[in-house]
Structure 1
């Protein structure tokens, strides 16, 4: 840490290894003490003593680690999107994973006394009645980050043009690899890309600016175009000629397939993005957009900056540590499962947790019993066995009124020797302003051989959570007033 760093305000950047995060760390280092948060142990191990940026490992799925990471921070920047795996097996939608990350960040920022959270999300269409799952999730994350005591400043951007960007890599690879392009209806939707350097300028302008606290700004570059025009401009910059044929239909399944195959990008990343392309996403006029406009970089100039001398996208420095992180994830063999469940009237997270312990033996039948002792350890026994299948220790020191946390402390099905940091745990939590509860298992280490676990216990867990969802849904209906219950019945 530089000698004068303690005198500067501290900004913590979540998602610092991303292509925007790296540029932002460099841009802010002269004026702030920058703490770069990453879940990658390989990236933290590469810390250069001469680098003014302090790299800190932080698993955003662990509320405790996020609280520790944000301790002492004046400002926080949130650039996180859970499109890449964080465990060897992940059960849950990207929206539920993103939501729990955002809720952890908002809770930790409130506890740490962070003054401002700056969030980089996505442009939204004027009509929000039928948002794609991806855009609805981005808006949900924005709302959740603003639910705490820290003031939220939200920047909404479309495609960000810069080396290392996943969306840009998909676009460039499609244009480079396909001499003939069949263009479905979504390629006529309008978009407004923005250069990464202009995103960084926007962040610097609103960060620590009280006038921006509590505000939302659309940001975009000087060029508004259709996706077809964006492909044509990309071909021009790459120096290639492409035959582009319009077709009058929008086929999400076909589009996802050919984008994934020809761009070399995983379906987990492609599918949510393609769903969003049916929307026009253009920045609305606002003071920040007007401030950016005079020096904003055009889309073709921004693309040229992202290419090397041979016309190839500059190398993404994340690739080296991603390979190491991927190997570490496979070797650790941990499980994450996040499920969104109904929250019946009058229930809170603790009521749902107790209902789960009461309901599970009835669902499984006479083979299973649950015993909760005075120390609030719940043990699950298979009849005929003296040792429990699983033991969960309630953690009152880490639970709150809207969050019930249990640590996985033993059992025949759980490996607890040499517990990971953070340890395996089960939680039920409410999200401010929402009528549902998130049930999540984090960092569970199965004792069964991995492929046996995948084919048995993992499937049983999903079956159990679906059954519990049906139980809570039925409870919700029972507890509704008669008039509301009548409206809920199908005609």
Structure 2
């Protein structure tokens, strides 16, 4: 008989990735969420989505009914100053209901840190939750993880934002605290392999990577892999409170969460036990490979992104300077044309070379000449075929990164830039029987100079890119 697994926290960073892994492995999954509708479009058709809130115990009975193993991936750090009380209450409600439902195993992801070592409130709360869950009478497999490295994780986003935005960084004392960073893929491997453990006594496993480094070391490695040079100035006087305000200004992390993170960083999170190595087949990768994979995954996610969906579903309104997605800035516009998608795409596919860029070609030529002067490829490469494009083709000072016939063309900028740039075209059928063409300029700035570059040329982009889109629309309708 197939045993159903309950997954809590499925809308979070770790939970969302774990859901996909469990689905790929063919497990029977039930996801519990406070807002189930947010999950229904993400999960596989075989995944059950139910309402459940650990702070509303009356919602937990149905969620836990018939469950053999439950993943507890809930943490209230973002709820405000009373997060520790919420953590206790939520864990206790879950434990009581799990006991009544006869749950056999709870797998919980907490945080590393030595008890009694003046632990931060954040880490104390993580440890308390693990103890409270044992009141369920179920086997509790508690993983205490060090810093998790992966595209989208709080730790990774903090590092990325700091390194990319600040050419000069002040390093408080907490930046030197040691840790055993672990890649998200290894965390997921531990979480899934825990399903194979025999039911028995509860255990705590410390999990981390093979390297012992600091947050500063992680920043240095990220900067090296992105080709960035950063000046660091050690300072002894930045308190966690001041540091959190600083983080709130320059990173996507809210200041109150930043403060709790910084307080936690004052505690070493180094693996001191090899129990996980004895009981699991997982062999974690090092920090360099973890960051390389995180960067690679970030790029893959952007390649897969459909801006027509991402911009509308995010609810973000286009404003001066564009819209920020992670470390990238996006400037997008659209136009409707009274032709079928394949006709609209034909005009897009002819762009560059002898056809030109449909608007202000003299400006494109000036940009190409400047690029040549500073050692770039300029516009001299043209294109290999007048009407067809393939992945890898040169296109003036762009290169084709992705192409989907009659739907999408994505170009990667190969001109000299203080960062990385892309130009993306999407074509979709609209309700009027015609097509919608969306054009999106995407920029990943390299530090402060990259941001200054983007915002300085943004007004010109409004002139050039809007004209280009109008030109493409005319070419499509006059074909």
TM range (shorter): 0.5 to 0.7
The answer to whether the 8 Å contact 1:156/1:219 transfers is yes
Superposition CA RMSD, Å:
2.8
Report what 1:182 is aligned to. 170
1:64 aligns to 2:64 (yes or no) = no
User: Deviation of residue 299 (structure 1)?
Assistant: 1.8
1:121 aligns to 2:110 (yes or no) = yes
308 and 134 in structure 1: CA distance in 2 versus 1, 3 angstrom threshold: same
1:20-31, aligned counterparts within 5 Å? 20-29=14-23, 30-31=25-26
For the residue of structure 2 that corresponds to 1:146, the secondary structure is helix
Hey, what's the Cα distance between the residues in 1 that align with 2:150 and 2:20? 15
Report what 1:138 is aligned to. 126
Hey, what's the Cα distance between the residues in 1 that align with 2:269 and 2:41? 38
Name segments (4+ residues, structure 1) moved above 4 Å. Answer: 290-294, 308-324
Moved more, 57-66 or 306-315: 306-315
The answer to whether the 8 Å contact 2:190/2:282 transfers is no
User: Deviation of residue 269 (structure 1)?
Assistant: 1.5
Hey, what's the Cα distance between the residues in 1 that align with 2:184 and 2:200? 20
Hey, what's the Cα distance between the residues in 2 that align with 1:166 and 1:39? 21
> Quick one: which of 30, 45, 49 aligns to 1:35?
30
Hey, what's the Cα distance between the residues in 2 that align with 1:72 and 1:31? 18
Q: Map Cα deviations across residues 54-98 of structure 1 (whole Å, 9 max, x no partner).
A: 22232221112112101011000011112345xxxx7x6111111
For the residue of structure 2 that corresponds to 1:218, the secondary structure is strand
| Runs of 5+ unmatched residues, structure 1 | 1-6, 325-491
Aligned residues: 311
Q: Map Cα deviations across residues 298-331 of structure 1 (whole Å, 9 max, x no partner).
A: 222222222258869869999989967xxxxxxx
313 and 272 in structure 1: CA distance in 2 versus 1, 3 angstrom threshold: farther
Q: Which has the larger radius of gyration?
A: 2
- TM-score w.r.t. the length of structure 1 is 0.58
Hey, what's the Cα distance between the residues in 2 that align with 1:311 and 1:25? 22
Report what 1:73 is aligned to. 67
Report what 2:41 is aligned to. 46
Hey, what's the Cα distance between the residues in 1 that align with 2:312 and 2:32? 15
Q: Map Cα deviations across residues 228-262 of structure 1 (whole Å, 9 max, x no partner).
A: 11110111122211111112345212211111211
1:234 aligns to 2:222 (yes or no) = yes
Q: Map Cα deviations across residues 181-216 of structure 1 (whole Å, 9 max, x no partner).
A: 110111111011101111111112222512664010
Hey, what's the Cα distance between the residues in 2 that align with 1:241 and 1:43? 40
User: Deviation of residue 219 (structure 1)?
Assistant: 0.3
| Runs of 5+ unmatched residues, structure 2 | 316-479
For the residue of structure 2 that corresponds to 1:295, the secondary structure is coil
164 and 322 in structure 1: CA distance in 2 versus 1, 3 angstrom threshold: farther
Hey, what's the Cα distance between the residues in 1 that align with 2:226 and 2:48? 37
- TM-score w.r.t. the length of structure 2 is 0.60
The answer to whether the 8 Å contact 1:19/1:164 transfers is yes
121 and 309 in structure 1: CA distance in 2 versus 1, 3 angstrom threshold: closer
User: Deviation of residue 52 (structure 1)?
Assistant: 3.1
267 and 199 in structure 1: CA distance in 2 versus 1, 3 angstrom threshold: same
> Quick one: which of 3, 22, 30 aligns to 1:9?
3
